[in-house]
Amino acid sequence: MLILDKPYVSDFLLRTVENMKIPVLDYGHTVDVKKKKRLMLLTEDEFLNMAKAQNPLKLYCNSENSINWIIRNLPQTNIPKYIEFCKDKVMFRRMIKPLYPDFHFQEVDSADIGCLDVTALKKPFIIKPSVGFFSIGVYKVNSDDEWKEIEEHLRQDIRSAEGQYPDEVMNSSKFIIEECIDGDEFAIDAYYNSSGKPVILNILRHPFSSDSDVGDRIYYTSKKIILEYREKFQAVLESIGNIAGFSNFPVHVEVRIDRDGCVTPIEFNPMRFAGWCVTDLAYYAYGINVYDCFLNDKEPEWSEILTEKDDKAYSLVLIDIPKGFNPEKIKSFDYDAVSARFSKVLELRKINFLNYPVFAFMFIEVPVCSNELDMALKMDFSQFISTK
pLDDT value at position 280?
A: 98
User: Mean pLDDT over residues 160-177, rounded?
Assistant: 62
Q: Which of 112, 109, 116 is nearest to 148 (CA)?
A: 116
Examine the pLDDT at 375 and tell me if it is beyond 90: yes
Average pLDDT over residues 178-189: 92
- What is the C-alpha to C-alpha distance for residues 325 and 341, in angstroms, rounded to an integer? 23
- The mean pLDDT value of the chain amounts to 89
Distances (CA, A) of 356 to 247, 278, 352, 353: 33, 16, 7, 5
Cα torsion for 182, 131, 321, 352, to the nearest 10°?
140
CA angle 148, 153, 156 (to 5 degrees): 130
Instruction: Name the band, by pLDDT with cuts 50, 70 and 90, for residue 143.
Output: confident
pLDDT given at position 33: 61
Residue 156 CB neighbour total at 10 angstroms: 12
Instruction: Tell me: pLDDT of 381 over 90.
Output: yes
The pLDDT of 28-43, averaged and rounded, is 73
Binned at pLDDT 50, 70 and 90, residue 223 comes out as very high
- Please determine, for residue 170, whether its predicted confidence score (pLDDT) is greater than 60: no
Peptide bond into 270 cis (omega under 30): no
Whether 181 shows a pLDDT value over 80: the answer reads yes
| Phi, psi dihedrals of residue 293, rounded to the nearest 5° | -60, -50
Whether 244 has a pLDDT exceeding 80, the answer reads: yes
Domains of the chain: 2-85 (no CATH), 102-179 (3.30.1490.20), 184-387 (3.30.470.20)
> How many whole angstroms separate alpha carbon 229 and alpha carbon 131?
28
What's the predicted TM-score (pTM) here? 0.87
Compute the distance between CA of residue 313 and CA of residue 166 in angstroms, rounded to an integer: 35
Q: What is the pLDDT, as a whole number, of residue 160?
A: 64
pLDDT of residue 212: 73
User: Kindly report the CA angle at 70 between 66 and 74, in degrees rounded to 5?
Assistant: 165
pLDDT in tens, 262-311: 999 998 999 999 999 999 999 999 999 999 999 999 999 999 999 988 89
95: Cα within 13 Å, side-chain hemisphere:
23
pLDDT for 110 = 72
114 pLDDT above the threshold of 80: no
pLDDT score for 163: 54
pLDDT in tens, 333-347: 999 999 999 999 999
Model confidence at 123, in pLDDT bands (50, 70, 90)?
A: confident
191 phi and psi, to 5 degrees? Answer: -140, 155
Compute the average pLDDT of residues 321-333: 90
- Res. 168: pLDDT tops 60: no
CA distances for 95 relative to 84, 89, 91, 98, 132, angstroms: 11, 10, 6, 8, 18
**CA dist list (Å): 353 to 136, 215, 298, 320, 329:** 16, 17, 36, 9, 11
| E strand map for the chain | 2-3, 23-25, 40-42, 60-61, 105-109, 125-131, 139-141, 171-179, 184-192, 198-205, 218-222, 249-257, 263-270, 312-320, 330-333, 345-350, 358-367, 385-387
DSSP SS3 for 268: strand
Average pLDDT over residues 69-75: 93
pLDDT on residue 194 = 95
Lowest mean pLDDT among 164-168, 181-185, 207-211: 164-168
Q: How far apart are CA 269 and CA 61, in angstroms?
A: 11
